[in-house]
Structure 1
Amino acid sequence: MARYKEVAADLRERIKRGEYEVGGTLPKYEDLTAAYSVGRGVVSSALAVLEREGLIRPIKRRGIVVLNWNVARRRIARGQLVTRNPHTVGYVFPAASRRDEKWTPHGRPHREYAPVPDRVAELMGVEPGIAALRRRRVMSPAGEPPFQLVDTWLSAAAVRDAPRIAEASTGPGGYLDRLEEAGHGPISWTEYIRTRMPSREEAQLLEISQEMPVLETVVLGSSAKTGGVIEVTVRVIPGDRVELVSELRRDESASWPTAPVTPAP
């Protein structure tokens, strides 16, 4: 076994035994090189392995931070049905939550005008970098580390027609109800799902390594009045936290027992 793999294996075992606590830091580079009698390159390669596995994350001025690696992976049954919650009086999309499960914010949800990233600009049909209203929140099930970063981007037309969506409280039903009341309803939605690597900012907010792939779901809301996209919601979830589950159904052509095959004449 290569020496860096041996070092990585030993550090991995120590992390999982709790010798290095979640939220704490590993020894400094010079201490690790001395402890394992190896050069800095070997330590660097070993730490890169652990970072890709989501066990550690180097943070400037803090050191090599041990991440919360023992988080149960959640199975999400993906559907296509949008419902309405009678308690919050708002739309409910296929998501990671379970019925009656309490979710809590990490930090304060906030809103600001920010440059639209390339991906969102492409989907909204606007120039990249143009300022748009972004509503941002980082959420997780109660007691768990950050599970998802949610950014909702709202077009200039949306804010013009429904100015309340730019306020801290958008009222019962949230910003979607305000948009539909302003004449854009019924809104129709399209969802895109892909995996990618996180940006530095996303990794910081989700408390993961930039080496950890993320699952990105993007929901486009289109106006019934104009036909154009008026809102884009981007959810980013660490790749080690979730797996998607879909129930497969038989088409009539795949019914069983199978129909007897008629020989060709």
Structure 2
Amino acid sequence: MTNKKRTAREVADDLRTRVLNEEKQPGETLATIAELATQYDVARETVRAAVTMVASEGLVRSVHRRGVVVQGRVRRRRIRRGQVVTRNPHTGYVFPATHDAGEKWVAHGTPHRSLEAAPEIVATTFGVEVGASVLRRRRVTSPAGEPAFQLVDTWLSPQAVTDAPQVAEPSTGPGGYLDRLEEAGHGPLSWREVTRVRMPSAEEAKLLEIATAMPVFEITMTGYSARNDQPLEVTIKVIPGDRVELVADLVRGESAEWPVSPVTPSEGSRGAGGTTP
């Protein structure tokens, strides 16, 4: 009688234990897919499925020609996303943060600007063809001494570049590109923010040094001109899902005041809209 082969979940459970027991240090290779298949006496497809499970937890990632690499444990932040935009007299506008105030942040690599093919969300917002050349300013940042926390892409519309050419320069001057746009006749700008969860592209995963199996938060902020209500800039922040928790304090409405008001028989017979979770 032959022994029952391990399932992908069983292999994943063992891999998780090995990582948590610090068999290898962050950045070191645990093993290749072929080596793991031999160790567990299973097919490579089973190992790949197991690695995907553990990678989605941020513990490992598969690196081409290296194998399964152990990820460093990251500090998870509890973020309260507010709606108030403030202003620093030296640096310009300050938006609801994705990190603690006063924390020192650094760039990973060199921030750069270039004309890039517009993805669908940018093309639709600016009213251009998907793939059209649009100015993008890109940077990867994190708290000092920590792994990459977020990839930030700011896309500027052709109209924005025409009206405020300095937004395409390496240095946009005091207050940054937003001040240049407002000075060009578009102030005061207004913004709308949308947050969703999705899977990263291969390029995003590489820049953030995460597995493609790790979900990411995508926070998209669109800035609109006061002159004609047209969108001028789209800033997209991509943050690995293991980096943050979004937190909100719930507020009681008038109908939820305590103590509960007594219900008369006539009111109770009318039924109630909604349900209690």
Give yes or no for TM over 0.5: yes
Q: Which of 37, 40, 48 is the matching residue for 1:36?
A: 40
Q: Which of 13, 16, 19 is the matching residue for 1:12?
A: 16
What CA distance in whole angstroms lies between the structure 2 residues aligned with 1:160 and 1:250? 48
DSSP 3-state at the match of 1:165: helix
Equivalent residue, structure 2, for 1:213:
215
Equivalent residue, structure 2, for 1:55:
59
Q: Is residue 2:100 matched to residue 1:84?
A: no
Q: Which of 132, 135, 149 is the matching residue for 1:133?
A: 135
Q: Is residue 2:68 matched to residue 1:64?
A: yes
Q: Is residue 2:138 matched to residue 1:167?
A: no
| Closer, same or farther: CA 262–125 of 1 in aligned 2, 3 Å | farther
What CA distance in whole angstroms lies between the structure 2 residues aligned with 1:247 and 1:83? 21
What CA distance in whole angstroms lies between the structure 1 residues aligned with 2:49 and 2:227? 56
1:47 Cα offset (Å): 1.9
- The code of the aligned residue for 1:189 comes to W
Q: Is residue 2:208 matched to residue 1:199?
A: no
Does the aligned pair in 2 maintain the 1:79–1:246 contact within 8 Å? no
Decide which structure has the larger Cα Rg and report it: 2
What CA distance in whole angstroms lies between the structure 1 residues aligned with 2:194 and 2:172? 26
What is the percent sequence identity of the aligned residues? Answer: 58
Gaps of 5+ in 2: 268-277
What CA distance in whole angstroms lies between the structure 2 residues aligned with 1:29 and 1:258? 60
1:181-214 CA-partner distances (Å, limit 9, x unpaired): 1110000101111111111111111111111111
Q: Which of 153, 160, 165 is the matching residue for 1:158?
A: 160
Q: Which of 46, 50, 56 is the matching residue for 2:50?
A: 46
What CA distance in whole angstroms lies between the structure 2 residues aligned with 1:247 and 1:126? 40
What CA distance in whole angstroms lies between the structure 2 residues aligned with 1:175 and 1:9? 48
Between 1:199-208 and 1:19-28, the stretch displaced more is: 19-28
Does the aligned pair in 2 maintain the 1:109–1:136 contact within 8 Å? yes
1:259 Cα offset (Å): 4.7
1:64 Cα offset (Å): 2.2
Q: Which of 103, 116, 119 is the matching residue for 2:118?
A: 116
1:9 Cα offset (Å): 2.1
1:33-73 CA-partner distances (Å, limit 9, x unpaired): 332333333323322322222222222233222222x2122
| Closer, same or farther: CA 262–4 of 1 in aligned 2, 3 Å | closer
Gaps of 5+ in 1: none
What CA distance in whole angstroms lies between the structure 2 residues aligned with 1:30 and 1:230? 50
Does the aligned pair in 2 maintain the 1:7–1:43 contact within 8 Å? yes
Aligned residues: 263
What CA distance in whole angstroms lies between the structure 1 residues aligned with 2:6 and 2:125? 46
DSSP 3-state at the match of 1:26: strand
What CA distance in whole angstroms lies between the structure 1 residues aligned with 2:8 and 2:262? 61
Does the aligned pair in 1 maintain the 2:78–2:245 contact within 8 Å? yes
DSSP 3-state at the match of 1:57: strand
| Closer, same or farther: CA 254–65 of 1 in aligned 2, 3 Å | same
1:91-125 CA-partner distances (Å, limit 9, x unpaired): 11112121210111111110001011012222233
Superposition RMSD on alpha carbons, in Å? 2.0
What CA distance in whole angstroms lies between the structure 2 residues aligned with 1:90 and 1:185? 13
Equivalent residue, structure 1, for 2:253:
251
**TM-score using structure 2 length:** 0.88
What CA distance in whole angstroms lies between the structure 1 residues aligned with 2:11 and 2:266? 66
- The code of the aligned residue for 1:84 comes to R
What CA distance in whole angstroms lies between the structure 1 residues aligned with 2:64 and 2:33? 14
1:113-144 CA-partner distances (Å, limit 9, x unpaired): 10110122222332211111100011111111
